Amino acid sequence: MLEVNADNFEKEVAQSTIPVVIDFWAEWCSPCKQFAPTFEKVAKQFEGKLTFAKCDIDANQEFAQSNGVMSIPCMIVFKNGQEAGRMVGNQTESLFVQQLKAFL
């Protein structure tokens, strides 16, 4: 899974020709750990249509703050390098898929 941070955001996200979904998470976050398998499963369903990436907020605190991440897990969808949508909290697979379809 692609890891995104301030150093590679421009290349991996801003220049992407398809929307990018970044999961902002932390190792100590139980809801993040519960959501991780869903994120990975849904990533396979949308392969080629959306790019999925992760960002550890502990290792990238300034990047998370610059994106307004206040609660985790926080999934931000970027189109053309700009935020197009945001989902906060543990999501069910069906709800996550339904929300992502809006960005196709």
Per residue in 76-101, pLDDT (tens digit) is 999 999 999 999 999 999 999 999 99
Measured CA angle at 32 (ends 29, 38), to 5 deg: 160
Return d(Cα 18, Cα 80) in angstroms, integer. 8
Number of domains present in the structure of the chain = 1
Q: Is residue 10 part of a domain?
A: yes
The whole domain housing 21 covers: 2-99
Q: Is residue 104 part of a domain?
A: no
- Three-state DSSP at 50 gives coil
pLDDT of residue 34: 97
The catalytic position among 22, 29, 74, 75 is 29
Q: Is residue 41 part of a domain?
A: yes
Mean model confidence pLDDT for the chain:
97
Return d(Cα 51, Cα 38) in angstroms, integer. 15
Torsion of CA 67, 70, 65, 26, to 10 degrees: -100
Instruction: Look up the CATH number of the domain holding residue 82.
Output: 3.40.30.10
> Each residue of 5-52: pLDDT tens digit?
999 999 999 999 999 999 999 999 999 999 999 999 999 999 999 999
Quick check: is 74 catalytic? no
Q: Is residue 60 part of a domain?
A: yes
Quick check: is 29 catalytic? yes
The catalytic position among 22, 32, 43, 72 is 32
pLDDT of residue 27: 97
pLDDT of residue 68: 98
